[in-house]
Chain A
Amino acid sequence: MYRGVSSEIAVASTIEAAYQRAYEEHWRDVFRFALAWTNDHGAAEDLAQESYTRLWSNRTSVDWDRPLLAWLFVTTRRLATDRFRTLRRRILNGPRSPTHDQVAWDQWLDVRAAMARLSPLERTAIVLTALEGYSYGDAAQVLGTSAGALRAAVSRARTKLEGA
């Protein structure tokens, strides 16, 4: 019996450590993905936290030996489009992120306005491919679309940003 309890404790500790590592290593990537999708700082923070909560909820079924970032991205995208999206509208007018100073926040508002011309797919597609180094194929997989559609989205995004 004692061995069983010890074994459970060891497994729990391993998962705890893996979860902690995933949080420290990937949180910023998840946040940026969510920011690209939502174009809203508060909502992105919210979504990133939600995604990690989901990871924790699924901790016993997740394969911790495999790369988790794609899982987190897909979870974030699904959460962003789930039934609670209407509730998030109020976040758009909610409090600003406390992590920005005034100058940076003003700059962010300009960038956000330019990025608002793009659809969530276009924003996320161009961020993943132009900034995060994803191939069209890998980005398409994360975003649940085809490589062709992804390529077209990136092209549209560039055109829109040039005119912003």
Chain B
Amino acid sequence: MDRSRADKILADWDRLSSQARRPGLTPRRAVTTGLPASTIAGAALLVVVAVAASLWFGLPPGVGQPGAQGSVQPVAASASPTVTWGPLAVIPPHGGAAQARTEGTLRITDACVFLERGGEVTLLFWPADRVTWSAASRAITFENFDGSVVTVGDGDHVVLGGGGDTEAESGISGEEWVRRMEWVAPPASSCSLDPRWGVGAVGSSR
């Protein structure tokens, strides 16, 4: 008996979706076990000069094995007892990030942080659990999901993972967007709010 059209589509869906490969690295945030630092054996900061593909698709097979992230340092979580965000627009932790990418030159002013590309500036906003701001060096340190930590400053060429939109795409004005979002530190009113980009990964050729 012939299968119905619905059954055939479902069978194809079943077969094709089963071909997906689990990423080698188990996703997790910075290690905050409360254990003595000495028990986080072999801890090392992995400062990565980004190759864009590795940001979006994870490390090549064989590079990272499940469990290998036990050596990730709690950089973002322990950077400072008093958190100051400086010019960063910061949102609460949200446990993930979109996987689109963009790149350009990082611009840090007194009130705003932008990505400049082809004469267009895009407001950047950051997850609170993975970013820190250094007022002394005016640098941004970001912890990627793969455990790599990148520090960038004004004028650096950066490759960013994450996602964003524009007022034209979403029909949501910058002001309305700010009202709808939940903020740890909202963007300054003087910042251009369109387009905007939620940073999910950072690579730098600094």
Q: Interface of A with B (CB < 8 Å)?
A: 5, 8-9, 12, 16, 19-20, 23-24, 27-28, 31-32, 35, 41-47, 49-54, 56-57, 79, 82-84, 86-91, 94-95, 97-100, 104, 107-108, 110-111, 114-115, 126-127, 130-131, 157-158, 161-164
Contacts and interface: CB of A to CB of B under 8 A. Distances in A.
B155 interface: no
A23 B165 CA distance: 32
B56 A53 contact: no
B39 A131 contact: no
B131 to A, nearest CB: 16
B82 interface: no
B76 to A, nearest CB: 13
A69 B129 CA distance: 26
Contact of A8 (B9, B19, B35, B172): B35
Contact of A114 (B9, B94, B99): B9
Given A20-B66, A164-B9, A99 B33 contact: no
B97 A46 contact: yes
Q: How large is the interface on B (under 10, 10 to 19, 20 to 34, 35 or more residues)?
A: 35 or more
B23 A49 contact: yes
A4 B36 CA distance: 11
Given A46-B99, A56-B29, A90 B9 contact: no
A111 B9 CA distance: 6
B71 interface: no
Interface string B11-51: 01110111111110011110001111001000000000000
Interface string B41-85: 000000000000000110000000011001000000000000000
B179 interface: no
B205 to A, nearest CB: 20
A111 B20 contact: no
B198 A45 contact: no
Contacts of A45: 20, 23, 99
Contacts of B27: 49-50, 52-53, 56
A46 B20 contact: no
Contacts of B100: 90-91, 94
Contacts of A111: 9, 12-13, 16
A91 B4 CA distance: 32
Contacts of A9: 35, 39
